[in-house]
Amino acid sequence: MSNDWQNLYSQNIKDFGGYSIGKIFKYLNNPDIISLAGGLPSPDMFQKAEMQLASRKDLEHSIEKVMQYTSIPGEQKLLDAIINFLQRDQININQDNILITSSGQHGLDLTGRLFLDPGDLIIIDRPTFAGAIVAFQMQRPEIIGIDLEPDGINIDQYRATLVKMKEKGKLPKFMYVIPDFQNPSGITTTLEKRLALLNLSYEFGVPIIEDSPYRDLRYRGKTIPSIFALDQDRQGNHVIGLYTFSKLFCPGMRVGFNIGPPEIIAKMTNIKEANILNTPKYNQDMCTAFLTEMDLEAHLEKCRHYYREKLDVFLQTMEEHFPPETGVTWTKPEGGLFLWVSVPEKFDTNELFYEAIKYKVAFVPGEVFYAESAARNHMRINFSYASKEQLAEAVKRLARCIKDKLKDG
Ligand SMILES: Cc1ncc(COP(=O)(O)O)c(C=O)c1O
């Protein structure tokens, strides 16, 4: 038995290697290295006293219930709080439209399991969130990427791809997008492009999966309606929304929610029943407290101010250290936690990563954000976790590293 495990693996898992980003994390434990690699919100934004109070109250008042199995769709109080939370954002739904998930990643997993058979087509952005790629890859779909432009997805390419697929008689199961402060690029899709994507969704009968972890973290510019809200205005029923508490509250709770048509939510609930049963009541209660007892708007305003300052330090230091002749360019996000740096094409950021480690700075090489034909001269930068001083120092180290490599030819 000892060496035959591989023969027993399911077809879906046999060649599945998981999250390839994992192999870089071993370099990040060195405290001398400034890491711009993770997707971590800052613990400075954790409401520590409020969390302790909510936790104590929860355990003191109802430990018997808190430590028990609980309902699969989610706690009533949290569902109610989410309905109110979304109303602020022009989304009007009721509890049949919501499933509590155990994180955004779980929401993606449920989506993949619900829709995909091996060989099915799906459309994603090039680049897009690596966690979404791996979640969908578990079902072995064929993934087609559409280029991202500074104002969002490339609609012409989307249309051409859908037309070609239709001609071949096989449309994608869904289109996955992150319209607000996209991970990894920080790019926001304009209202015109959101409406155009929705039109494509109606024309071709392909649903949209809209992933929105960063939507409330806007630091400048005007909020653009979510695709879910735009679809609701038109009574389209074509959009499923994925949300998480990880970036606004804290990732440690592992709580999120999916919203969509009742039949989709019911099916996802069946899958959740089989894959994790319920999301812990304690974690849900903490999220309810976050939405209803912790002065949500004041907290969000504090986060926006705090992250905006960090982003500005990063962008300003980039301006100072990367003059146009370096050939280095970067996105200028209006919110979120990430930006996307492009270096001259002669660089492969997988290799540059190891060079940068020598200069004691780390980023995520861009390749992991592509499902196919990856571009190799990009990197994802996280600006939320490191301090402002570290961010400025990290840019200087990166500049030294890249300029030294440019000198070497
Ligand atoms: C676009 C996107 N979706 C989903 C997630 C997953 O969120 P969670 O940490 O709640 O699993 C992330 C996390 O970085 C993300 O960036």
pLDDT number for residue 80? 98
Distance from the CA of 248 to the center of ligand 1, in angstroms?
A: 11
CA angle at 334 for the pair 35 and 78, rounded to the nearest 5°: 85
Q: Is the pLDDT of residue 28 over 90?
A: no
pLDDT greater than 90 at residue 66:
yes
> What does the pLDDT read at residue 27?
83
Residues 274 and 208 in one domain: yes
Question: What integer pLDDT is reported at residue 19 of this predicted model?
Answer: 77
Ligand 1 centre from 70 Cα, in Å? 24
Pair (343, 401) in one structural domain: yes
User: Given a cut of 80, is residue 405 above it in pLDDT?
Assistant: yes
Distance 383 CA to ligand 1 centre (A): 16
Q: Do 154 and 289 lie in a common domain?
A: yes
Atom of ligand 1 nearest to the CA of 337: 16
The token pair that represents 222 in the structure block: 């005007």
pLDDT confidence bin for 26, thresholds 50/70/90: confident
Flag whether 63 is in a domain.
no
What does the pLDDT look like over 241-283, one tens digit per residue?
Answer: 999 999 999 999 999 999 999 999 999 999 999 999 999 999 9
Taking CA atoms only, the protein residue closest to ligand 1 atom 16 is: 183
Q: Point out the ligand 1 atom lying closest to the alpha carbon of residue 129.
A: 1
Per-residue pLDDT reduced to its tens digit, 319-349: 999 999 999 999 999 999 999 999 999 999 9
CA distance 296 to 67: 26
Sign of the CA dihedral 233, 237, 239, 245? positive
- Give the C-alpha distances (Å, rounded to integers) separating 69 from 62, 66, 245, 256, 280: 13, 8, 21, 18, 8
**Strand bridging mode 121-126 / 98-101:** unpaired
Residues 302 and 288 in one domain: no
Terminal-residue alpha carbon distance, the chain: 53
Lining ligand 1 with CB less than 6 A are 39, 103-105, 129, 131, 178, 183, 211, 213, 244, 246, 251, 256
Q: Which two tokens stand for residue 197?
A: 């994507």
Give residue-wise pLDDT tens across range 343-385.
999 999 999 999 999 999 999 999 999 998 899 999 999 999 9
Is 25 in the same domain as 74? no
The CB density around residue 199, as the number of other CB atoms within 10 Å, is 14
**Mean pLDDT to the nearest integer, 300-326:** 97
Asked whether residue 59 is domain-assigned, the answer is no
pLDDT at 22 over 70: no
**How remote is the CA of residue 140 from the centroid of ligand 1, in Å?**
21
Q: Answer yes or no: is 81 within a domain.
A: yes
Q: Say whether both 113 and 38 belong to one domain.
A: no
Q: Decide: 233 and 320 in contact? Cβ < 8 Å.
A: no
Q: Six-digit token pair at 195?
A: 């409406």
Residue 194 sits in the same domain as residue 76: yes
Of the residues 217, 244, 290, 338, which should be mutated to test ligand 1's pocket, given the most ligand atoms within 8 Å of the CB? Answer: 244
Domain boundary among 236, 263, 294: 294
* Closest ligand 1 atom to Cα of 244: 10
The residue contributing the CA closest to ligand 1 atom 7 is 104
Tell me which residue of 172, 176, 165, 170 sits closest to 116, measured CA to CA. Answer: 172
- Write out the residue range of the structural domain in which residue 236 sits: 68-294
Residue of 246, 253, 276, 284 to test ligand 1 pocket, by largest number of atoms within 8 Å of CB:
246
Burial category of 17 from C-beta neighbours within 10 Å (exposed 0-12, middle 13-18, buried 19 and up): exposed
Distance CA 206, CA 52 (A): 45
CATH code assigned at 124: 3.40.640.10
Closest-lying ligand 1 atom to the alpha carbon of residue 246: 10
* Cβ contacts of 200 within 8 Å, gap of 6 or more: 155, 158, 159, 162, 175, 206
Condensed to tens digits (0 to 9), the pLDDT of residues 86-133 reads 999 999 999 999 999 999 999 999 999 999 999 999 999 999 999 999
Kindly report the three-state secondary structure assignment for every residue of the chain.
Answer: CCCCHHHHCCHHHHCCCCCHHHHHHHHHHCCCCEECCCCCCCHHHCCHHHHHHHHHHHHHHHHHHHCCCCCCCCCHHHHHHHHHHHHCCCCCCCHHHEEEECCHHHHHHHHHHHHCCCCCEEEEEECCCHHHHHHHHCCCCEEEEEEEECCEECHHHHHHHHHHHHHCCCCCCEEEECCCCCCCCCCCCCHHHHHHHHHHHHHHCCCEEEECCCCCCECCCCCCCCHHHHHHHCCCCCEEEEEECCCCCCHHHCCEEEECCHHHHHHHHHHHHHHCCCCCHHHHHHHHHHHHCCCHHHHHHHHHHHHHHHHHHHHHHHHHHCCHHHCCEECCCCECCEEEEECCCCCCHHHHHHHHHHCCEECEEHHHHCCCCCCCCEEEEECCCCCHHHHHHHHHHHHHHHHHHHHHC
Atom 8, ligand 1: residue with shortest CA distance: 104
pLDDT at 323: 96
Q: Is residue 382 included in any domain, yes or no?
A: yes
**Pocket perturbation via mutation, ligand 1, pick of 102, 105, 284, 287 by most ligand atoms within 8 A of CB:** 105
Shared domain for 305 and 288, answered yes or no, is no
Same-domain check for residues 246 and 340: no
In a domain, 61, yes or no: no
Task: Calculate how far, in angstroms, residue 242's C-alpha sits from the geometric centre of ligand 1.
Answer: 9
From 244, 276, 294, the end of a domain falls on: 294
Q: Ligand 1 atom closest to Cα of 178?
A: 1
Distance in Å, CA 26 to ligand 1 centroid:
21
pLDDT of residue 2: 63
Q: What is the mean pLDDT of the chain?
A: 96
216 CA → ligand 1 middle, Å: 14
Does residue 62 lie in a domain region?
Answer: no
> 259, 276, 294 — which closes off a domain?
294
- Whether residues 34 and 87 share a domain: the answer is no
> Domain of 357: which CATH number?
3.90.1150.10
- Assigned domain for 53 exists: no
The ligand 1 atom nearest the CA atom of 256: 10
| Token pair for 244 | 């998480």
How many CB atoms neighbour CB 7 within 10 A? 7
Residues 223 and 322 in one domain: no
For ligand 1, the distance from its centroid to the CA atom of residue 53, given in whole angstroms, is: 27
Burial of 176 (0-12, 13-18, 19+ CB in 10 A): buried
- pLDDT score for 29: 83
Q: How far is the CA of 256 from the centre of ligand 1 (A)?
A: 9
Is 90 exceeded by the pLDDT of residue 141? yes
Residue among 247, 279, 380, 382 to mutate when testing ligand 1 (max atoms within 8 A of CB)? 247
Task: Give distance in angstroms: CA of 160 to centre of ligand 1.
Answer: 29
Specify the pLDDT at position 215.
Answer: 98
Higher pLDDT, 396 or 4: 396
Contact 333, 152 (CB under 8 A): no
- Residue 407 — pLDDT band, cuts 50, 70, 90? confident
Distance 183 CA to ligand 1 centre (A): 9
Q: What is the pLDDT of residues 146-185, one digit of tens each?
A: 999 999 999 999 999 999 999 999 999 999 999 999 999 9
Q: How far is CA 202 from CA 159, 189, 249, 257, in A?
A: 12, 18, 34, 24
Q: Could you give the number of structural domains in the chain?
A: 2
> Hey, what's the torsion of the CAs at 196, 202, 204, 207, to 10 degrees?
90
Cα 110 to middle of ligand 1, angstroms: 14
Residue 1 has pLDDT above 80, yes or no: no
Q: Are residues 242 and 168 in the same domain?
A: yes
